[in-house]
Structure 1
Amino acid sequence: MTTLVPAPDGSYASLLSELKERIRAARLKAAVAVNRELILLYWSIGRDILARQTAEGWGARVIDRLAADLRRDFPEMTGLSPRNLKYMRAFAEAFPDEEVVQQLVAHLPWGHNVKLIEAVKSPEERLWYARQAVEHGWSRNILVHQIESGLHRRQGKALTNFARTLPALQSELAQELIKDPYSFDFLALGPAMSERELEQGLLEHLRSLILELGKGFAFVGSQYHLEVGGQDYYLDLLFYHLRLRCFVVVELKIEDFKPEFAGKMNFYLSAVDDQLRHNSDAPSIGIILCKGKNEVVVEYALRDSTKPMGVAEYRLSAALPAALQAALPTEAEFAREFPLMALVKLRMEVEREIRLLVADQTEAERPLALGPMLTELQGLGLTPQTADRFRNALQTMNRAAHGLDVAAADAAEATEIASVFLAELRVIRDRRSS
């Protein structure tokens, strides 16, 4: 007798999908349960080793003996090396409360717990990072990054007016979510960057930006257009926060905070609330990210603002330790050792200014070489008066950039011409932006 296989109709497909999802969920629960039991086992082993060493004065060599004996009796089990047994002892010492282990750190993989032991010395901070890792589902690499960036010291530290402008529950959550300073160490930007370059860099590293902002931020757009009273306005970055249920406007400033920034943000938030906010959304929030700030000035600027906003700084990279800074040669020493370095730097500054001018004109893909960019600049009618002289000096600059020998007189002449050309470029750009 032949058994008929049911056709893959909608009912069968639905059953198959449901069973596959049930199997995945069961496998995940099994993996979590196995991990939890393993962590509890490691903690109990570490606790017993610690207790015996304390009570009976055992030395460190007993761990080597234990590791050899345990691996002999359980050859199929990994994780019983002397090094791992020492981590178990340190684990039990770092988390002495069994209830905390069961309810919190047993939900983290062993590698996460090892990193917490190695990288965080304060018990309070260690628990804080453990809770964050469980809540947000951080991978081990993300956990290490958050520890190295000092997230515990930055979280919830921004100056805001949330307590006055938001309901209590939303105010507490919003304050907790905003950091100060924000760490943009994934950007390779120098001190002479423009706001456009900062914004473009953040967009190019959007995943890293979202990670730094924190869980719940959904990207809506950059240079988001709003029309108010027949005039056009553009928001640097616009997000929607899934837990706060509100829009979040982020404004980027490459200078220290000024009181007028708060007034502009107040205007933007009014427009967003009027044009984008739904009836079920909470009031929109603004975050002003600045190079620096005076806390007293910020407090005065936010005191009478009617819209919820916060002010925080950002950091592009951590400063070198003093010992390393002292070991580095000074700019004068570099100039003596590498006489053509200033010429190479000047060429880079010229190229940067030309890119900014060309980018203002068209959205087409930009040429990479400096020569074609000069030609495009000429086609746009933005050529400085000394362009022909600069083209002649460019050959000398290119030789310097490729490490070839350049006569001192030629280098001096090229430097003089390029400096004048650079100044003219900046005048043209300032005139167009005014």
Structure 2
Amino acid sequence: MAKNKENVPAKAVESLFNKISPLITQSRKMIATTINTAEVCTKFKIGQYIVENEQKGKSRAAYGKQVLFHLSARLIEKHGEGWSVETLTLCRKFFNVYSNFVNGVYEIEGEYKFTLSWSHYLVLMRIKNDDERRFYEIEATSGNWSVRELQRQYGSSLYERLALSRDKEQVARLSRVGNVVEKPEDIIKNPVTLEFVGLKPDASYSESNLESAIINKLQEFLLELGKGFLFEARQKRFSFDEDDYYVDLVLYNRLLQCYVLVDLKVDKLTHQDLGQMQMYVNYYDRYVKQDFEKPTIGILLCKEKKDTLVKLTLPENANIYASAYELYLPDKKLLQAKVKEWVNEFETQDGREVT
């Protein structure tokens, strides 16, 4: 047997393995996806039957809890664990939430199709605002987010932070198509949440400490920045007129096809910081970027930023943006209130009454 094994051509085995192994992996993914989809569709339909049964009369609605209790017992007896009263209640809620609109739920020939797993929808159902829920559903689907990533993005108030960085029309667009990256402004969040780096908000730390903490959590940092970011270098040196300069972080955005330079500031933003970033951006545009690439973007992550200072220091067409960062998750209720105030302000400017 050993001799036969030695005579087998290694290249032939390797070639077959490289063809078959990905096929098995893909097949397992397809099976998992099919199982997830079947589970979600089943629970949506269960919720529909429960709601329709309760709507047939006040008497049925009155003893709804008792119906679910006995129904749960029968289902567990027939189909095993997993059909508790709590689960049936969630099925009912799922139908009530998702039967009111068709985003992520497409009715084709009487069948509903969903894009995420049941665990994802358990998170999404807790979001009361329809626009916000639709946004997270689109982003979770397009970004292939795990449940943990969905929880993190919702907990960090991604929707509110993006909304506060955009005008009214773009806020409305978030709930229709998600965060589409087409121009530099689309990658800006305010604030940027860096709670994952592990630095204490009330502790003293340097820019070097912050940079090292970000590099140690690079994957989380790139996900926080948004779509399409690739890491190139830290403390990237370039020389000009016999002087050396260092860019804290050099990134590349494949969707915008441009370099993104990031400078970290642990204090409030100054006009000198803006001027320095303008010089970095100019250098990359003139000596590094290729003809097919878009203009370089500069981002200053600072503890404190002043929009007035940015507007006064930089020309209107400058590709430089300042964004505050937080070392803790923002207050979601406060951000929600700010978004509502922000949209209401636009409505008032348009001369329409705000309800």
Query: Which TM class, normalised by the smaller chain length?
Result: 0.7 to 0.9
Q: Does 1:108 align with 2:113?
A: no
**Letter aligned with residue 64 of structure 1:** F
- The DSSP-based 3-state class of the residue aligned with 2:282 is helix
Query: What's 1:423 paired with?
Result: none
**Letter aligned with residue 263 of structure 2:** E
Q: Does 1:289 align with 2:301?
A: yes
Post-superposition Cα deviations, 1:176-198, rounded to whole Å, max 9, x if no partner, equal: 22211001122323353322222
Query: What's 1:85 paired with?
Result: 88
Within 5 A, what are the aligned runs for 1:32-47? 32-47=33-48
Post-superposition Cα deviations, 1:105-148, rounded to whole Å, max 9, x if no partner, equal: 82211111111113x11111111111111111111111111111
CA distance in 1, matches of 2:184, 2:30: 32
Contact 1:45 1:88 in 2 (8 A): yes
- The DSSP-based 3-state class of the residue aligned with 1:55 is coil
Query: What's 1:148 paired with?
Result: 155
1:319/1:121 CA distance change after superposition, 3 Å: closer
Query: What's 2:68 paired with?
Result: 63
Query: What's 1:309 paired with?
Result: 320
CA distance in 1, matches of 2:218, 2:37: 34
CA distance in 1, matches of 2:263, 2:113: 38
Contact 2:250 2:259 in 1 (8 A): yes
Unpaired runs of 5+ in structure 2?
107-111, 168-179, 333-355
CA distance in 2, matches of 1:42, 1:319: 34
1:61 shift after superposition: 2.4
Query: What's 1:126 paired with?
Result: 133
**Letter aligned with residue 182 of structure 1:** V
Of 292, 314, 333, the match for 1:280: 292
TM-score relative to the length of structure 1: 0.64
1:10 shift after superposition: 3.2
CA distance in 1, matches of 2:264, 2:90: 44
- The DSSP-based 3-state class of the residue aligned with 2:248 is strand
1:191/1:295 CA distance change after superposition, 3 Å: farther
- The DSSP-based 3-state class of the residue aligned with 1:226 is strand
1:303/1:50 CA distance change after superposition, 3 Å: farther
Q: What's the C-alpha RMSD, in Å, of the aligned pairs?
A: 2.8
**Letter aligned with residue 259 of structure 1:** H
CA distance in 2, matches of 1:246, 1:105: 37
1:38/1:319 CA distance change after superposition, 3 Å: closer
CA distance in 2, matches of 1:283, 1:319: 32
1:37/1:100 CA distance change after superposition, 3 Å: farther
**Letter aligned with residue 270 of structure 1:** N
**Letter aligned with residue 149 of structure 2:** I
CA distance in 1, matches of 2:46, 2:181: 44
1:209/1:105 CA distance change after superposition, 3 Å: farther
CA distance in 1, matches of 2:120, 2:297: 34
1:81 shift after superposition: 1.6
1:173/1:304 CA distance change after superposition, 3 Å: closer
TM-score relative to the length of structure 2: 0.77
**Letter aligned with residue 131 of structure 1:** I
More strand per residue = 2
Query: What's 2:191 paired with?
Result: 181
